[in-house]
Every structure is written in structure tokens, then in C-alpha cells.
Amino acid sequence: MTALQRARQAPTASPVSDLAADLIGREKQFGARNYDPLPVVLTRGEGSWLIDVDGRRYLDLMSAYSAVSFGHAHPRIIATLIAQAQSLGVTSRAYYNDELPLLLERLAKLTGMDRVLPANGGA
């Protein structure tokens, strides 16, 4: 038997729960479509592990697929987020702030460019 034949005979993933199906249905009803996600509804993460709304765990192998490549709920990252939120949230680019110039300088030096512009292409 070939690998393809074995894969075709492999058991499929268990059907999604009623809760997961409801959440997926709501996203499909109210969300604009750009691609079709996997039928897994995540609720939290612990390091390299993701947990869905039904308590199943998944090893997160999507690192660097999007902006999330540092794991989930790492204590140092959480502490940094809390400290920043207690100081200043996300500000409009209509203002200057005390962090962006330092980031721009560091990125320019690292890349050898004269100027840099951080951007989010996921919008």
C-alpha cells in the first residue's frame, strides 16, 4: 500500500463540537472572507501548545506564519505587556512617543537602511 493510499484510509479528525461549530458559523456569517481557516476554535495557549474550546491540545507549528512566533502566555512577555499597558497604550501616529524613535534607529542600523517604516500587512 502506498503512502497516499494509507493517508486516504487514515481516520479523519473528529467532528467539531456544537460550541466550535457555532463559533465557526458566526465567523463565517459576520466576517469578511479572505481564506478558510482550519476547523479548530482556539481559546488559549501555553508556550508552544494551543488549546481549543473543547479542551484539546495542539502543538503550535505555525510559527512565523503570522506575527505570532514567540509562543503563548510567556510570563516575561505578559509582564512586559502589562507594564506597557499601565504606562501608555497604542498611540496614533498623529503624535510622537518615546519608544518609536528608538525602534526606528535600531532597525535602521540592523538593516543598513537610512530610514525604516514599520507596517502591518495583515490589515
Q: What count of other Cβ atoms lies within 10 Å of the Cβ of residue 116? A: 15
Percent of the chain with pLDDT over 70: 80
3-state class (DSSP) for residue 85: helix
Query: How much is the average pLDDT of 102-119?
Result: 92
Query: How much is the average pLDDT of 20-27?
Result: 90
HSE of 83 in the Cβ direction (CA atoms, 13 Å)? 6
Q: Which tens digit of pLDDT belongs to each residue from 50-60?
A: 999 999 999 98
Radius of gyration in angstroms for the set of CA atoms belonging to the chain, rounded to a whole number: 20
pLDDT band at 14; cut points 50, 70, 90: low
Give one DSSP letter per residue of 28-49, joined into a string: HHHSPPSS---S--EEEEEBTE
pLDDT band at 33; cut points 50, 70, 90: confident
Query: How much is the average pLDDT of 63-71?
Result: 64
pTM over 0.85: no
The CA distance from 82 to 78, in Å, is 6
Non-local (6+) Cβ contacts of 27 within 8 A are none
Give Cα 65 distance to the centre of its chain. 8
